[in-house]
Amino acid sequence: MRALQLIEDRRLEAVDLAPPPPPALGEVTVRIKAVALNHIDVWGWRGMAFAKRKLPLVIGAEASGEVETVGQGVSDLLPGQLVSIYGARTCGLCRACREGRDNLCEHVAGVHGFHLDGFAQELINLPARLLVPAPPGVDAIGAAVAPVTFGTVEHMLFDNAHLEPGETVLVHAGGSGIGTAAIQLAKRMGCTVITTVGSNDKIAKAQALGADHVINYREDRFEGVVRKLTRKKGVDVVFEHVGADTWAGSMLSLKRGGRLVTCGSTSGVSTSINLMQLFQQQLKLLGSFGCRMENMANAMQKMATGLVRPVIDTEVDFDSIDAALKRMEGRDVFGKIILRVA
Ligand SMILES: [Zn+2]
């Protein structure tokens, strides 16, 4: 079967691997349909000194597939069923897992496509408990962007930032995969959405998703525009994932008691914090990574009813993966890049 392996930093190869054995107890063989690319794939491809991993490694952290074969002890999945795949190999036994706080698993074995072999392969055996069935009306692409893109944003906005209808939220990088999801999820619940983009051709696209105000951060200082738009009050919630380049401005964009929720740092991992600003303004800083499986189910339910939709930049095959990752690295995308596996 075909698979896409990272051989060394910045070198990916389409290879032939032996298909997996029949599924073990509690396992399912999944035929992968679509893999959605994320910044974690760019990090992995560029090389991360601190990542515990062995090369070669099959890439792909976010995917959908069809149930091919069901192992013993699996009663709730049927061959042919479309599923969304949880991206981390949790234990399923610890307190966090049993309570549905999957991304706080105490014995997580790693993230697929980053620490462990990922989903850019035709067939893979997985524990059935890590598969979330797609409801009718959700296709392979919708199910592919539920685990990391929509699931992460659901977890950030609702579980962590406790976003409420009527609040104002600043979404950084509105053209990124999670940016396009955050604009829609916040707007559909009745929030005012301010977003940033890096080029003027993305402005109309962000507005079409529901953004009320779009700031080109290369032309204007976003924190100044945010203060003007909110009559110097600031926003209730900042949705961060850019990191070093935007952190100080994000803190300045918050109202008193505001919440900053972050899941990434694409521009760099280190910054400084003005502690006086933190405590005097009573700001809340929330770190978020991954999601709970329930977030995936909730996101797909919203797709099924047409409330939100995946925003797809392009679909690529194994041969054009390098160009796709370079475009992501250069932020020359609007929405998700989908790697078609079958
Ligand atoms: Zn666990």
Distance 106 CA to ligand 1 centre (A): 5
pLDDT at 54: 85
Q: Would you say 244 and 264 are in contact if contact means Cβ atoms under 8 Å apart?
A: no
Find the range with the poorest average confidence among 44-48, 191-195, 248-252.
44-48
Distance 98 CA to ligand 1 centre (A): 7
Distance 132 CA to ligand 1 centre (A): 17
Distance 155 CA to ligand 1 centre (A): 18
Taking domain 2-145+310-340, whether its CATH number is 3.40.50.720 is answered by no
Q: What is the pLDDT of residues 100-156, one digit of tens each?
A: 999 999 999 999 999 999 999 999 999 999 999 999 999 999 999 999 999 999 999
The answer to whether residue 200 scores a pLDDT higher than 90 is yes
Distance 91 CA to ligand 1 centre (A): 4
Confidence of residue 51 (pLDDT cuts 50, 70, 90): low
Distance 78 CA to ligand 1 centre (A): 25
Average pLDDT over residues 280-295: 98
Beta-bridged to residue 31, according to DSSP, are: 66, 123
| 254's tokens | 């918050």
| Phi, psi dihedral angles at 151 (to 5 degrees) | -65, -45
**Domain ranges (residues) in the chain:** 2-145+310-340, 150-287
Cβ partners under 8 Å of residue 98, min gap 6: none
pLDDT at 325: 95
| 240's tokens | 């961060």
Distance 99 CA to ligand 1 centre (A): 9
The answer to whether residue 227 scores a pLDDT higher than 80 is yes
Distance 85 CA to ligand 1 centre (A): 16
What is the CATH code for 150-287? 3.90.180.10
Mean pLDDT of the chain: 96
On the question of a common fold for 2-145+310-340 and 150-287, the answer reads yes
C-alpha span between 130 and 147 (Å, rounded): 10
Q: Would you say 173 and 242 are in contact if contact means Cβ atoms under 8 Å apart?
A: yes
Q: What is the pLDDT of residues 75-88, one digit of tens each?
A: 999 999 999 999 99
Q: Which among 240, 338, 340 is positioned nearest to 41, based on CA atoms?
A: 338
pLDDT at 231: 97
User: Where on the phi/psi map is residue 268: left (φ > 0), alpha (ψ -120 to 50), or beta?
Assistant: left
Distance 297 CA to ligand 1 centre (A): 19
Distance 199 CA to ligand 1 centre (A): 42
Q: Taking the model in full, what pTM does it have?
A: 0.96
